[in-house]
Each structure stands twice: as structure tokens, then as C-alpha cells.
Amino acid sequence: MTRYMLVGNLDGGVVEKPMEEWKPEEITAHLDYYKALRKELISSGERVQAEVLAGPDLAKIVTSDGLTAPVVTDGPFQEFKEWLAGYQIVDVESEARAIEIAAKLSAVPGPGGVAIQQPIQVRQVMDQAPSNVAEMEGFLQQVGGEH
Amino acid sequence: MTPQVLGTLVRRHGDFDAAEDAVQEALLAAALHWPRDGVPQKPRGWLIQTAERRLIDQLRSEQSRRSRESLALLQEAPTQEVSDQDDTLIVLFMCCHPALTAASAIALTLRAVGGLTTAEIANAFLVDEATMAQRISRAKQRIKASGVPFRMPTREEQTARLRTVLHVLYLIFNEGYASSTGGELQRTELSDEAIRLTRMVQRMLPDDGEVAGLLALMLLIDARRPARTDPAGELIPLAEQDRTLWDRALITEGVALINRAIGNGAVGEYQLQAAIAAVHDRAPRADDTDWPQILALYGLLEQMTGNPVVTLNRAVAAAMAEGPSAGLALLDAVGERLAGHYRLDAVRAHLLEMAGDTKGALAHYRAAATRTTSLPEQRYLAAQAARLNLEATGDDASRLRR
């Protein structure tokens, strides 16, 4: 099993219209789709964690040199569409399955029931363990210090 | 004790899922009664009886609800007594069912045979308890749906199933392998559990060469655990490990096991891997390593598996036995099949460095570091690249001064 983080930005894909202007039944269909997907991933035992983030209006940017008081400023410093909207972590058998789930996320229905085609980043989570003991032992032999 | 109780019940009644629930209830009852009334004389018998009563109640109530299915299953009392060991083995063989994915088989094995709680398993695999519970329950449903009866497999079935069992045990060992530092202790327990279960299988099938081979492999690799990571958790390559930290008792046991197994019948993959590990473990210093022998063993393993990653190891052995150019030639031959695989870059970097090509080595260490998905490997590879970068720029500076 490999963990992948599926990341979506505040990028509505092909939909320009903000959600406040959607019809109520379109919003319901949109949310029901996410709910059904969530249920599917819980029952398949693949869902590890999912979070939706509060909007960039509430975001703070923190920088620090570790010595003086940190500098805290309000955002946004980037385009609205480039802010992280939320993520989920799935633990799946293959990259193909992670892509399949990402595709479902991207195809969430928007106004008129059309898939919004939101871009979803599929990022593999780094492992602490090797994929295979023999390979790791091999690795420790291979990189072995003839220096 | 739990796997034996579970094994007995499942053998008698056939329903894995219901049997497990009943065992859980019996354990709960024991936790309530034993402190008050004292531990019964035959605790296992008590657990079996209690669990069986719950199971029959449960099956009956289901039956009256559905009012179908005959009671035949319940009335079919076992004719011959089977030992506890066999019961545990039945549960293990059942958990390593061909209908399951490796991940499900691992979780189920740890739960039913290893006696770990769902929370402990979830913890070790870094998922939450509900997710792991869901995985385990799905695995049980799958076994049920597959319709394969829960019983000791026949001899032919055993042979086929044993491969899966060994693979699952190997994967459990694997999960616990890399971590030896605090905070990840749960994972090291997985290696211990895999060794314990493999020992059990080996006791039951003492003449099977691959079972002995796998156990030997685990012991020989586990022996190096104290030397494999530094206090900060960084990997230490084999050649730089402090061999005085290796566990002598495990090495002695592993070497004895593999020597006996390899002279006995067909040679398999685990035996060859164990034999290679034994050659390394027998060398008091890295310089004493018998590389020609390792080279020959990798040659056999490569023929047997056709796995290109084995070829990478053979290339390193060839470089050590015959010089870097022999190793690099082997890499060129396997390059196509492993194109883009970071491990190929890591080996090439190492061999190029051996050959004195610092610049080439640096480029390949960098490429390997960006492509690996293992954090400890990435840290190691990035450190190698940084070290060579320093050497390379240092060289430039000295040339400029000249």
C-alpha cells in the first residue's frame, strides 16, 4: 500500500461562476457527490485523512529567522486560484488507483451537472520503510562506503 | 492463546467472522470474571467453551431470523482432535488467502494470528483505527465470499498456499525493517512478530527448505538492526556498519539454519537471499567479504527470479570482485529494463565513484535522490551528492590556485 496526497487548489476548473450563484439543487448534487465518494473510500479502507481549509482571507503568512520576533502578515500574496483548498490522503494498492480517485474528485458536478474538471495534484507520500527488505539490504550494499 | 481458541472454533463451525466476534466476547467475559473468581484451571478450555456458547447463540439467532440454512454445521462435531499448533497454522493459512490483497492478508494475519489489536496494527501502518477495522472486516468478508472452507489445506493446497504465507510473513518483516529509532517502535515490533510466526511455521514444517530459508534470512538481516541506523535514525551502509554491534546469537542461528536447508532438496529464492546475507554476516570486517561467492549467489538468484533489481546487486558484487568496470558493464545491460528507476542511478553513482569519475557519480546521486520515495534513502543519497559536490568544487579551487 502506498499513500498519496490528493491536493486541490481553489481552482474551479472549467466553472467560472462562484458557488453563491449556483442553484440550490446544484450545490446539493455537488456536496452529495463528495459525500458518496467519502463513503466509498471509508468503506474500502483507503481513506486516511481529508481536510478542507478555511479561505485565504483568514490566512496568515509567518516568517522567522529563529532569533527575532516572527513576522506575521495577512495574505493573500498569490492568486486566489493558487491557494490550497484542501487535501485528502489515501492509502492505496497502486498509483493507478490514486489517479482513479483523483479523477473522481476532479469530475465533481457543478452548475448544470457538468463535471467541473478541477485539477488535482497526485503526490506520493514519502515512505519511512523501503518497499522491500531485500531491496533495502541491496541498497545498503550498493551504496556502501568505498570512499 | 487467542489464535488457538479462534482456530478451534473456526474449525468446528466454519464461520471465521462470527468466530472472531465470539472470541472477543469470551475475552471480555474473562476480563470480567477472572479477576473476581480467579483464573480457571484450564483457561483455554474455559475460553473455548465460553466463546462457543456465544457463537452458537449468535448462529441460532441469525438462523431464526433468516429461518433458513440447516443446523448441520453446528452438529458436525470434530471427529479427531487436532493440536493447538495445527489450529494456529490453519488460521495462518486462512489469513493468507489467495482472494486477498497483500495488504489485507497482512492486516488479517496480525489480527488473528499475531494477536495484535486493531489499534496497534493501525498505528504501525499509520492509518486510523476505523480505516484498519474496515480493511480487516472486508478481508474477512472476502474469505467468506470465496467459499473456500476453513480447514487444514490438503497437502497440494498447502504447498501452493505456503508460498503466499511466506510472502505475507516476509512483507510483515519488511514493514518493521527500516525503523529502529524511538517513536517508531511499533514498527520494529512487526519484525519481531514476523520472526515469531515464521519460527512457528518452521517448527511445524521443519523439512521445508524455503521456510528455513526465510527464517534464516530474517534472522541474518535482523542481526544487523542495532548497527543499521545511527542515533539520528540515518541509514548506515553495510560497509560502514559497526559489526561488533551485530547480534552474534541471531547470526549463529541463521547460518546454521541456512547451511542445513541449502544442502537439503531444491534451492529457492529465500534460501539464496539468506545465503548471501550469511556471507556478509560472516565477514568480521567489510574488507573480509567473500565477494566472488556473493557474485556467484546473485548469479543464481538472477537466473531464478529474472528480477532486474537482483542484477543491480550482482553488478555491485561484480565491481567488488572484479573491479568497477565489470559492474558498470552489467548496468549497461540492465539499463533498459530499469530506465528511470532511482536504484539504477544510485548503483551507477556508487560504481562511477569507485572508478574515480566524481562528476558522473555526483550527477547520478542527484538523480537518484530526486526520484526515491523513501525518506531514509533520500537523506542518504542527498548526503552523498553533497559530499561529492564538496570534493568536486574543492578540486576546482585547488586547480585554480595552481
User: What integer is the mean pLDDT of B88-114?
Assistant: 83
Instruction: Spell out the residues 6+ positions from residue A44 whose beta carbon is closer than 8 angstroms to its own.
Output: B134, B138
How far is the CA of B126 from the CAs of A44, B39, B225, B229, in angstroms? 16, 36, 22, 21
Chain A / chain B CB contacts < 8 angstroms = 124
For B111-159, the DSSP string reads HHTS---HHHHHHHTTS-HHHHHHHHHHHHHHHHHHT---SPPPHHHHH
Q: Check pLDDT > 80 for residue B372.
A: yes
Contact B358, B391 (CB under 8 A): yes
Residues of B in contact with A47 (CB under 8 A): 131
Instruction: Spell out the residues 6+ positions from residue B290 whose beta carbon is closer than 8 angstroms to its own.
Output: B279, B282, B283
Whether the bond between B308 and the residue before it is cis, its omega within 30 degrees of 0, is no
- Using pLDDT thresholds of 50, 70 and 90, give the confidence band for residue A138: low
8 Å CB contact of B277 and A131: no
- C-alpha cell of residue A118: 478541477
Q: Search chain A and give the residue with CA nearest B365.
A: A143
Query: Would you say the ipTM is above 0.90?
Result: no
Q: Search chain A and give the residue with CA nearest B170.
A: A133
- Nearest-angstrom CA–CA distance, A79 and A131: 38
- C-alpha cell of residue B395: 578540486
For residue B13, the model assigns a pLDDT of: 72
- Nearest-angstrom CA–CA distance, B399 and B122: 57
To the nearest whole Å, the CA of A140 is away from the closest chain B CA by 4
For residue A41, the model assigns a pLDDT of: 92
User: What integer is the mean pLDDT of B383-389?
Assistant: 91
- Nearest-angstrom CA–CA distance, B225 and A136: 13
How far is the CA of B278 from the CAs of A9, A35, A122, in angstroms? 52, 54, 41
- C-alpha cell of residue B63: 438462523
Residues 106-125 of A with CB under 8 A from B: 124
- C-alpha cell of residue B394: 574543492
- Nearest-angstrom CA–CA distance, B173 and B191: 4
Lowest-pLDDT range, B72-86, B212-226, B264-278?
B72-86
Handedness of CA A9, B375, B361, B340 (dihedral sign): negative
- C-alpha cell of residue B359: 562528476
Q: Search chain A and give the residue with CA nearest B135.
A: A45
Note whether A133 contacts B: Cβ–Cβ < 8 A.
yes
For residue B72, the model assigns a pLDDT of: 38
Contact B174, A129 (CB under 8 A): yes
Domain range list for chain B: 1-76
Note whether A3 contacts B: Cβ–Cβ < 8 A.
yes
- Using pLDDT thresholds of 50, 70 and 90, give the confidence band for residue A147: very low
What SS3 state is found at A22? coil
Lowest-pLDDT range, B156-160, B165-169, B385-389?
B156-160
- Nearest-angstrom CA–CA distance, B26 and B21: 9
Q: Check pLDDT > 70 for residue A10.
A: yes
- Nearest-angstrom CA–CA distance, B43 and A103: 54
Write the CATH number of the domain with boundaries A2-142: 3.30.70.1060
Lowest-pLDDT range, A63-67, A109-113, B110-114, B274-278?
B110-114
What SS3 state is found at A94? coil
DSSP element (H, E) containing A40? helix A24-43
User: What integer is the mean pLDDT of B148-160?
Assistant: 72
Q: How far is CA A35 from the centre of its chain?
A: 16
Q: Check pLDDT > 70 for residue B178.
A: no
More confident residue, B78 or A81: A81
Q: Report the percentage of chain B scoring pLDDT > 70.
A: 87
For residue B258, the model assigns a pLDDT of: 95
More confident residue, B114 or B83: B114
CA angle (B25 as vertex; B189, B192 as ends), nearest 5: 10
Instruction: Give per-residue pLDDT as tens, B322-353.
Output: 999 999 999 998 888 888 788 899 999 999 99
Lowest-pLDDT range, A63-77, B61-75, B269-283?
B61-75
Mean pLDDT of chain B: 82
Contact B55, B13 (CB under 8 A): yes
Query: Which candidate from B128, B376, B380 shows the least CB-CB separation from A128?
Result: B376
